[in-house]
Amino acid sequence: MLTSSLLFIPSLHDFLFSLLPPGLAKGAEMVLVGIIYLTIFAVAGLFLVLLERKVAARFQLRLGPNRVGYGGSMQTLADALKLLSKELTGTVRADKFLFNLAPYFVIITALMALAVLPFSQSMQVFDINIGLFFLIALSSVGVIGILLAGWGSNNKYAMIGAMRSGVQTISYELSVGLSLVTMVLLAGSLQLSQIVEVQKSGWLIVQGHIPALIAFMIFMIAGTAETNRAPFDLVEAESELGAGFHTEYSGMKFAYFFLAEFINMFIIAAIAVIVFFGAWLSPFGITESLPWLGVFWFLGKTFLVVLLMMWFRWTFPRLRVDQLLTLEWKYLLPLNLANLVLMAVTVWLNLTIQF
Amino acid sequence: MSYFTEIYHGVKTLLTGMRVTGRYFITSGKSAITQQYPDNRASLKMFDRFRGEVVMLHDENNEHSCTGCQKCELACPNGSIEIIWDRGVDPETGKKKKFIDKHIYHLGMCTQCGLCVQACPSNAIVWAQKFRKTRSTTEPS
Ligand code: SF4
Ligand code: SF4
């Protein structure tokens, strides 16, 4: 059920259909939606990079970028312009085709994931009925881009980084998936709009209380690992591997990886918000009469979760590869399975809290 | 059972770490240690422990306490200190004695490691905070 439409701008939707024949209008609408989401991608990416740098500075008692624009607000824009003007270099005897293909893999999966997120009641491009499953699947496809980048670079460090990424994603997507499955048990649907609907009688983290809380903690840990952020950034451990899988990339191709990383963080935070904190629903339904405020609630909550992930990043030291695997297979996975049973029992005995 | 205590311990230590950084995050607005140097040139006060340059202390009679023992010269890993000395006769005791002619400190080679200051037995050399060795033509010297 493809609902690609500009339903969140109804007047534009009607205008397009009155102006063009239906087929053409549909096409034009798709292009427009694509452009809007690409813009969101770029703006959100740049904003998150700036936010990360500012937040990191505060955690380390520094000031952070504060020269370009008011309080440094234009810094990442300037950086992006600089990267645009850089030469695109490559290595000799690299696999040129895969080398050039890799960044697109990474950003396209990130963009596809953006499409299914319900930003508000009407602002969702693609309300697929297996939404959550789709998101989990996409987050594992993104790693192919990283593997291709490592392989195509003809660089040992890049290769090691990519392999580590493979190890990490294979292990941690299990935890991401299982913690989400735990919540699906409670919500009873994979469709994102349906999951939000269920939360009208209390956010799932409240409804599911203890097991939901455990699932949230596991999801945050595994989600941070999925996005290859510190403390799980073995993929691009600067002190060991240079820049990891994107060592050989320069200019805009490097920027793609960089932006995709931050967008992935945003997506993980958004999934957490959708599944645990009621997406665009306001707390206690205080702004229920103003549905367009949903976007702000959604972005606000996502922003808080992103802040939490940054807090992790600037507090914890990086794990070793063996520690990484120990954490997943010896701790997260058994806990997750036990939690799944706990949640099943909770739902079965109707011990959920509902308002 | 130790499995669960391990988990408990792990989570607790992680939260302790997060509390520390969280406090920094909340309080760091004004207390950031970054100095926005050329902007605050007039009011900048360097920290006591700052290592700007090695200087030889002189008292009010313009006398220093360096004995010319050359320990600083030996201690310096990259030869930034050169001591030029001479032998002479001490006018008081009439004995032969080593006199310091010149204590030369090459700032350009110094790595600010501080070994010379530690090595000096008579505390003749100390750290000074001055780090700016130039001036623009519009400023008074
Ligand atoms: S601080 Fe270190 S490098 Fe500089 S003069 Fe003293 S011993 Fe030599
Ligand atoms: S170690 Fe001290 S006393 Fe000896 S030569 Fe150097 S500055 Fe003079």
- Note whether B58 and B7 are same-domain residues: no
Mean pLDDT for all residues in chain A: 84
Structure tokens belonging to residue A135 = 């998101």
The model's pTM is 0.82
Domain count within chain B: 2
- Per the domain annotation, does B138 fall within a domain? no
B15 touches chain A (CB under 8 A): no
Q: Of all residues in chain A, what percent carry a pLDDT higher than 70?
A: 97
Size of interface A-B (CB pairs under 8 A): 40
- Per the domain annotation, does B115 fall within a domain? yes
A315 touches chain B (CB under 8 A): yes
- Per the domain annotation, does B121 fall within a domain? yes
Buried b / exposed e along A127-151 (16+ C-beta atoms within 10 A): bbeebbbbbbebbbebbbbbbbbbb
Q: What is the pLDDT of residue A11?
A: 65
- Per the domain annotation, does B21 fall within a domain? yes
Structure tokens belonging to residue B134 = 């130039």
Residue nearest (by alpha carbon) to ligand 1 atom 3: B110
CATH code for the domain of B102:
3.30.70.3270
Three-state DSSP at A220 gives helix
- Note whether B9 and B72 are same-domain residues: no
Distance from CA of B40 to the nearest CA of A (A): 15
Q: Is the pLDDT of residue A3 over 60?
A: no
- Note whether B66 and B122 are same-domain residues: yes
B40 touches chain A (CB under 8 A): no
| The length of chain A, given as a count of residues | 355
pLDDT tens-digit map of A258-276: 888 888 889 999 999 988 8
Q: Is the pLDDT of residue B115 over 90?
A: yes
The more confident residue out of A110 and A124 is A110
Asked if A61 and B20 come within 8 Å (Cβ–Cβ), the reply is no
- Note whether B75 and B120 are same-domain residues: yes
Distance from CA of A262 to the nearest CA of B (A): 21
- Note whether B70 and B120 are same-domain residues: yes
- Per the domain annotation, does B10 fall within a domain? yes
Q: Is the pLDDT of residue A2 over 50?
A: no
Least confident of A240-254, A293-307, B70-84: A240-254
pLDDT tens-digit map of B20-61: 888 888 887 666 788 888 788 778 888 888 888 899 988 888
- Compute the Cα dihedral for B75, B77, B79, B80 and give only its sign: negative
Q: Which of B58, B71, B105, B118 to mutate to test the pocket of ligand 2 (most atoms within 8 A of CB)?
A: B71
- Note whether B53 and B22 are same-domain residues: no
- Note whether B51 and B119 are same-domain residues: yes
- Per the domain annotation, does B91 fall within a domain? yes
pLDDT tens-digit map of B74-86: 999 999 999 988 8
Domains of chain A, residue spans = 7-76, 86-348
- Domain coverage including residue B19: 1-34
Q: What is the pLDDT of residue B77?
A: 93
Q: What is the pLDDT of residue A1?
A: 38
Of B7, B17, B34, which has the smallest distance from its Cβ to A62's Cβ?
B34
Q: In DSSP terms, which residues pair with B128 in a beta bridge?
A: B53
- Per the domain annotation, does B4 fall within a domain? yes
Q: Of all residues in chain A, what percent carry a pLDDT higher than 90?
A: 5
Nearest residue to B81 via CA among B99, B68, B92: B68
A213 touches chain B (CB under 8 A): no
Least confident of A12-26, A38-52, A291-305: A12-26
Q: Could you give the ipTM of this predicted complex?
A: 0.74
- Note whether B73 and B113 are same-domain residues: yes
Least confident of A69-73, A325-329, B2-6: A69-73
- Note whether B65 and B85 are same-domain residues: yes
- Note whether B19 and B51 are same-domain residues: no
Distance B90 CA to ligand 1 centre (A): 30
